[in-house]
């Protein structure tokens, strides 16, 4: 009995040691083999928005994160650290100038400049200028021209301000210019029309000169264009007589009532001209006496 007992105890000890071996070594290795391998992403760090950001939001660290992006897919000018992005406004946290989607890379052009506030100056295309016009409910297309839309600017002049019979002329000064702001609203995501007092548009230096002269000659108004419409229409000046005659200037050589026009400044830079009545222009000059004598002989 004593031998059997000893053998049983020895067998139990061996089985216990075997179980301990399985629990300590074999089982952890088996579970580790089932865990998926973590492969570290390769690429360069790029700062992106950790959530969707709205126009005008001031950045903080919780809005940003850093991801690895392949070298050939890194946007030019992107930030590599959160601290660098938060110091983009001359050492201060910038403000978002355009809506950013989650995981979208931050770029200097999408953030505010000095002053940590939305800046129209940051939205101006290279080589262009911002020009502000006075408008009202009617001339500002009822407030429906919003930042990001495109408009034409039309000038109407009264050529006879002191006369009994009024004579007007209308010019299209510039076409297809982008609206940068309406009053103090420069949010490109704005969709609420409001009664405007001013409209800031993006124009070339030459067009800003035209608008400066045109604003002193008469009343400027905006004509809203359809989204995506970029064509430049042929729009010669339209006078009161042209409008009453069917909306088009009379063709060269066509007969019609005599028209007298005042001196008109051509916005495109052509010299001012004073036209004469049509009856005088069409009248033939008297024949020279010498020609008459020759015909008689």
Q: Indicate if 147 and 207 belong to the same structural domain.
A: yes
- Residue 188: inside a domain: yes
Tell whether 96 and 193 lie within a shared domain.
no
- Max mean pLDDT range (117-121, 188-192, 229-233, 243-247): 229-233
| Structural domain count, the chain | 2
Q: How far is CA 285 from the centre of its chain?
A: 58
What mean pLDDT do residues 214-234 have? 92
Is there a single domain that holds both residue 53 and residue 93? yes
pLDDT at 206 over 90: yes
Residues 129 and 112 in one domain: no
> Could you tell me the residue range of the domain that residue 55 belongs to?
44-118
* Last residue in a domain, options 219, 239, 259: 239
| More confident: 128 or 242 | 128
The verdict on 114 and 168 lying in the same domain is no
Q: 219 and 130 in one domain?
A: yes
Burial class (CB in 10 A: 0-12, 13-18, 19+), 39: exposed
| Residue that is last in its domain, among 92, 118, 144 | 118
User: Which residue, 89, 118, 147, sits at the end of a domain?
Assistant: 118
Residues 75 and 53 in one domain: yes
**Segment 118-125 long-range contacts (CB within 8 Å, at least 24 positions apart):** 118/55, 118/56, 118/186, 118/187, 120/180, 120/181, 120/186, 120/200, 122/97, 123/97, 123/180, 123/186, 123/202, 124/180, 124/202, 125/202
Q: In this structure, are residues 219 and 162 in contact, taking their beta carbons and an 8 Å threshold?
A: no
Contacts of residue 97, defined as CB under 8 A and 6 or more positions apart, other chains included, come to 55, 109, 110, 111, 112, 118, 119, 122, 123
90 with 131, same domain: the answer is no
Q: Could you tell me the CATH number of the domain that includes residue 96?
A: 3.90.1210.10
How are beta strands 238-239 and 168-182 bridged, if at all? antiparallel
Q: How much is the pTM?
A: 0.52
Query: Tell me, what's the pLDDT at 5?
Result: 75
200 compared with 183, residue with greater pLDDT: 200
Q: Does 261 score more than 60 pLDDT?
A: no
Does 99 reside within a domain? yes
Of the candidates 262, 288, 292, the one whose C-alpha atom is nearest the C-alpha of residue 277 is 262
- CB-based burial, 211-245: b 16+ in 10 Å, e otherwise: beebbebbbbbbebbeeeeeeeeeeeebbbbbeee
């Amino acid at each position: 009995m004593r031998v059997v007992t000893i053998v049983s105890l020895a067998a139990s000890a061996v089985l216990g040691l075997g179980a301990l071996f399985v629990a300590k070594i074999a089982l952890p290795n088996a579970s580790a083999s089932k865990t998926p391998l973590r492969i570290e992403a390769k690429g360069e760090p790029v700062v992106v928005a950790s959530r969707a950001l709205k126009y005008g939001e001031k950045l903080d660290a919780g809005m940003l994160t850093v991801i690895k992006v392949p070298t050939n897919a890194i946007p030019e000018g992107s930030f590599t650290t959160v601290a660098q992005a938060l110091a983009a406004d001359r050492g201060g946290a910038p403000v978002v100038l355009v809506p950013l989607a989650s995981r979208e890379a931050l770029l200097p052009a999408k953030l505010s400049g000095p002053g940590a506030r939305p800046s129209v100056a940051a939205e101006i295309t290279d080589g262009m200028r911002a020009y502000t016009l006075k408008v009202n409910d009617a001339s500002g297309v009822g407030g429906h021209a919003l930042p990001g839309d495109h408009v034409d600017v039309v000038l109407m002049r009264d050529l006879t301000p002191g006369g009994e019979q009024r004579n007007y002329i209308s010019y299209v000064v510039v076409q297809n210019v982008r609206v940068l702001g309406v009053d103090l609203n420069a949010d490109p995501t704005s969709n609420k029309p409001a009664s405007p007092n001013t409209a800031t548009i993006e124009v070339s230096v030459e067009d800003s000169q035209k608008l400066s002269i045109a604003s002193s000659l008469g009343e400027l108004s905006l004509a809203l264009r359809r989204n995506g419409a970029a064509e430049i229409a042929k729009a010669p000046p339209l006078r009161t007589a042209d409008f009453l005659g069917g909306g088009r200037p009379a063709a060269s050589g066509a007969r019609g009532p005599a028209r007298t026009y005042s001196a008109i400044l051509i916005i495109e830079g052509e010299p001012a001209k004073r036209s004469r009545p049509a009856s005088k222009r069409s009248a033939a000059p008297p024949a020279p006496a010498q020609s008459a004598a020759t015909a008689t002989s």
